[in-house]
Structure 1
Amino acid sequence: MPVEFAPISDQSLPIWCVTQDAEIPEDAMAGNWPAACGFTGKTGELCLLPAPDGSVQGALFGLGQPARAGRERFILARAVSALPQRDWRLASLPEGHDPEELALGWLLGQYRFTRYKGDAPARPRLVCPDGVDADRLLAIAAGEFLTRDLINTPASDMGPKQLEASARKLANDIGASIEVTTGEALLKSNLPLIHAVGRAAEQAPRLIDIRLGDSGPMLTLVGKGVCFDTGGLDIKPPSSMGLMKKDMGGAATVLGLLKMLAGTGAAQRLRLRVLIPAVENSIAGNAFRPGDVLGSRKGLTVEVNNTDAEGRLVLADALTMGAEENPDLMISYATLTGAARVALGPDIPPFYCDDDATAQIIQTSAMQAGDPLWRMPFWEPYETMIEPDIADLDNAPSGGMAGSITAALFLRRFAEGAGRYVHLDIYGWQPAAKPGRPKGGVGQGARAILDAVPRLLT
């Protein structure tokens, strides 16, 4: 869906943003109307201001108590669904509130997934505040909308073939090259884990490989593209399978991030590579089995102790391929473990990184971008948990403890060769509507990395 700011115009209506119980700006008083309406500036509270002829001449919007400002991101998105369909501008903003964050919240609040339900009603537009880079915010929102659309589309219309088509369209739009290795060609190209996980599905497994730029530091992004996950022969219960259209959330996020990098101009200073193993983990007579020992591109053998731990298998081959070029930085995104959600909930993905300086930059950028991440350790003593008796690695250690950490340790084995490696264990789903984030697919960690890239790769 298109995303836009309103043009600068005398016809735009003012919004006065006020904190709770603060004095209302004199030019927004409209007599005693706000007091008569009970407006106090509570979080998300809206008061439309009438003109003498009965039309709307402006609005007051509540930012809540300053001490609780950190409780809610993108608060101005609340106004998008409440204001009349007009063009609006920020007339006042209390000190300490970031106009860029508010404007991005407004843009994100315009999102609606309409593929199966007709067009969404037109939304009010905002004039981009002075001093805010409108083009950058529009590029960020467009990348986020791509990620959401891809995740929200069910597997009936977003299998490996359709994910490839979406990647091809994006590559064409931004002038990138793309190569795709499909089906039995995966074995010839020494990508056996991707083939093993996806071979039972109706749509053939594939590796999508996108490149953009030919000079500068190299950034490689790897995104898990499991378009639907039944759990394989270790089949999931219905309660766990219902959201598995989102198991390609890592792929959707790296494509959204690629769109942001290209749209903001950051890609012009980099060599970018995006690798997406796109598969469906299905059940059939040729599905890979519990107890199988599989070979990998790296030469390490993997004992399959649970076919529902398939994401780390397809990522392993893609990470190995990415590391062979020795990129300056390689980042993987994956909806990998429920353990991450138990530890940190749906809003805060953990990230793993051995390099303290890199981790600090990412943590700072995550806070600045309103895209929270939390560092977790590659805990060396747990390495023995992923080392079984009959193979080099175990894809699903027993015991159920430290599941996100052991998954990250597994992936790190295949990322050797990259200058620095970062892994994000994302959820990719908004379980309940929040400002700027309707229930459904959501990008996580893309805006944080976008903000960090200039400092990570200079």
Structure 2
Amino acid sequence: MLLNFATDTANAIPLHVVEADGLNDALAELSAFQQNWTVTQGFKAGLGQVVAIPDADGAIAQVLVGYGTADSRARGRFHMGGIAAKLPDGVYQIASGLAGAVLEEAALAWLLSQYKFDRYAPCRATDAQLVAPDAIDADRIAIIANGEALIRDLINTPASDMGPQELEDAARALAAEHGAKMNVTLGDELVKAGFPMIHTVGRASSRAPRLLDMRWGETGPQLTLVGKGVCFDTGGLNIKPGSSMGLMKKDMGGSATVLGLAHMIMGLGVPIRLRVLIPAVENSIDGDAFRPQDILMSRKGLTVEINNTDAEGRLVLADALTLSDEDKPELVISMATLTGAARVAVGPDLSPFYTDSDAHAAAISDAARVVADPVWRMPFHAPYEAMIEPGIADLDNAPKGGMAGSITAALFLRRFIESPYIHFDIYGWQPTAAPSRPKGGVGMGARAVLEALPKLLNL
């Protein structure tokens, strides 16, 4: 679905955002009738409170929205999205109370609150529409919102309709929309082209594995995005229990996120050369499935001992990262729903990321705060390198012991790349509904990266 601001602005209802300590000043701007009405409704400007004030004919003349205190707002984000969901149908215009980055976040939150995944069942559309505030770049906010909607749509679609072919179709549609070029290496051609681990992970599925390669832009520094595209993960021969397999349609959340980010970058015309690499596979069980204790050869020439076929994401990413390194980009960023250990460490709301560059880490962390896309830096902890070295091969895909699982996975990936590198170990799923984020697929880290690009690439 397309998210956008209201186009009919003639009769927009003014909306005044009131902080708790500004309530008396706000009341002073009202008539005696309006003051009495507001007080009678119990409005105290608490976060999320809404009071619609009628005119003499009973129609809504204006709306007061409670914005609470700084402490209450710090306990969440996208508060305006929650407010939009409480308003009657109509067109609204933020008349006072917000400015700068806070106003931009509010506008984005409002658009994202309209998102509905309605492919399989009808959903009531949110008809509380917002007029784009004059002080924001409305086109930019809409492009970002629709990049996020793309991420959500791709993750929310079940594997029956989002296998490697359908993921390729989505990438091709995005490339066509923005005039990008696409190349796909399919099935057994992966072996001939030098991507043995992508082929090995996906060969047991009836749906052929593939590597998607999109390029856009002719000038500027090169950014390469690599997204994990495991469209469903049974765990392979180390099969997951049912309780762990239930959400595995989202194991392509990294690929969804880089495609959504690519939409933002291309839609905004960021002056870079963009490359997007997605190893798209399904980790299935068949007579041709790879096995525990197999030793695989990678594109880079490093050998990998398989100690768990359920640690497959790092295998397909490794071949793609090696390819990304070959044309010496200024920066490579990988995004993947890679480890449960990351969720244990930081929960579902934070995007853990790894980088050796303090400057890159600061740029992303600062940008994340500006755009309300929370991240947390994790360490490439060198003393753990020994944990990923099994002795009979160069690398172990699943070190025993269960310690530092997200870190060891990141260290594994770093072995396959020499270019400046940032890795995100995201969750890609909103477990319970929150303002502007319904339960289901969700973008993580993409908006922070977009905001940080000027510093990351010296634009």
**TM-score between both structures, scaled by the size of structure 1:** 0.97
Aligned residues: 454
Equivalent pair of 1:114/1:120 in contact (CA under 8 Å): no
User: Match for 2:401: what amino acid?
Assistant: G
> Where in structure 1 do 4 or more consecutive aligned residues deviate above 4 Å?
94-97
Question: Are residues 1:222 and 2:226 paired?
Answer: yes
Matching residue of 1:11: 11
Equivalent pair of 2:48/2:67 in contact (CA under 8 Å): yes
Q: Counterpart of 1:143 in 2: which secondary structure?
A: helix
233, 236, 239: which is aligned to 2:237? 233
Q: Give 1:263-342 correspondences, 5 Å limit.
A: 263-266=267-270, 269-342=271-344
Q: Deviation per CA, 1:426-450: give whole Å up to 9, x if none.
A: 0000001111111000000000000
Give the C-alpha shift of residue 454 in structure 1: 1.3
Whole-angstrom CA distance in 2 between matches of 1:261 and 1:249: 18
Give the C-alpha shift of residue 149 in structure 1: 0.1
| Cα 1:287–1:264 shift into 2, 3 Å | same
| Cα 1:61–1:395 shift into 2, 3 Å | same
Matching residue of 2:249: 245
Equivalent pair of 1:302/1:393 in contact (CA under 8 Å): yes
Whole-angstrom CA distance in 2 between matches of 1:428 and 1:120: 24
Whole-angstrom CA distance in 2 between matches of 1:221 and 1:106: 28
User: Match for 2:36: what amino acid?
Assistant: N
Q: Deviation per CA, 1:149-208: give whole Å up to 9, x if none.
A: 000000000000000000000000000000111100000101000000000111000000
User: Match for 1:296: what amino acid?
Assistant: S
Matching residue of 2:353: 351
Matching residue of 1:73: 77
Question: Are residues 1:176 and 2:183 paired?
Answer: no
Q: Counterpart of 2:61 in 1: which secondary structure?
A: strand
Equivalent pair of 1:28/1:60 in contact (CA under 8 Å): no
407, 411, 414: which is aligned to 2:413? 411
146, 158, 172: which is aligned to 2:162? 158
Matching residue of 2:89: 85
Whole-angstrom CA distance in 2 between matches of 1:231 and 1:66: 44
Equivalent pair of 2:73/2:79 in contact (CA under 8 Å): no
Q: Give 1:165-204 correspondences, 5 Å limit.
A: 165-204=169-208
Q: Deviation per CA, 1:308-345: give whole Å up to 9, x if none.
A: 00000000000000011111000000000011111101
Whole-angstrom CA distance in 1 between matches of 2:164 and 2:30: 54
Whole-angstrom CA distance in 2 between matches of 1:391 and 1:121: 55
Matching residue of 1:36: 40
13, 23, 48: which is aligned to 2:52? 48
Question: Are residues 1:429 and 2:433 paired?
Answer: no
Give the C-alpha shift of residue 80 in structure 1: 2.2
Q: Deviation per CA, 1:223-274: give whole Å up to 9, x if none.
A: 00000001000011111110000000000000000000011221xx111000
103, 108, 113: which is aligned to 2:112? 108
Whole-angstrom CA distance in 1 between matches of 2:158 and 2:320: 24
Q: Counterpart of 2:334 in 1: which secondary structure?
A: strand
User: Match for 2:225: what amino acid?
Assistant: L
| Cα 1:238–1:167 shift into 2, 3 Å | same
Give the C-alpha shift of residue 97 in structure 1: 7.5
Q: Counterpart of 2:415 in 1: which secondary structure?
A: helix
Equivalent pair of 1:16/1:28 in contact (CA under 8 Å): no
Unaligned runs of 5+ residues in structure 1 are none
Give the C-alpha shift of residue 27 in structure 1: 4.2
Matching residue of 2:20: 20
User: Match for 2:151: what amino acid?
Assistant: T
Q: Deviation per CA, 1:99-119: give whole Å up to 9, x if none.
A: 111111111111110000125
Question: Are residues 1:361 and 2:367 paired?
Answer: no
Whole-angstrom CA distance in 1 between matches of 2:28 and 2:83: 22
Whole-angstrom CA distance in 2 between matches of 1:331 and 1:97: 25
**TM-score between both structures, scaled by the size of structure 2:** 0.97
Equivalent pair of 2:85/2:126 in contact (CA under 8 Å): no
User: Match for 1:398: what amino acid?
Assistant: K
| Cα 1:94–1:176 shift into 2, 3 Å | closer
Unaligned runs of 5+ residues in structure 2 are none
Whole-angstrom CA distance in 2 between matches of 1:233 and 1:360: 41
Whole-angstrom CA distance in 1 between matches of 2:424 and 2:257: 11
Matching residue of 2:396: 394
Alignment root-mean-square deviation, CA? 1.3
Q: Counterpart of 2:161 in 1: which secondary structure?
A: coil
User: Match for 2:439: what amino acid?
Assistant: K
Deviating more after overlay: 424-433 vs 42-51: 42-51
Equivalent pair of 2:101/2:371 in contact (CA under 8 Å): no
Q: Counterpart of 2:20 in 1: which secondary structure?
A: coil
Give the C-alpha shift of residue 66 in structure 1: 2.3
Matching residue of 1:209: 213
Give the C-alpha shift of residue 284 in structure 1: 0.7
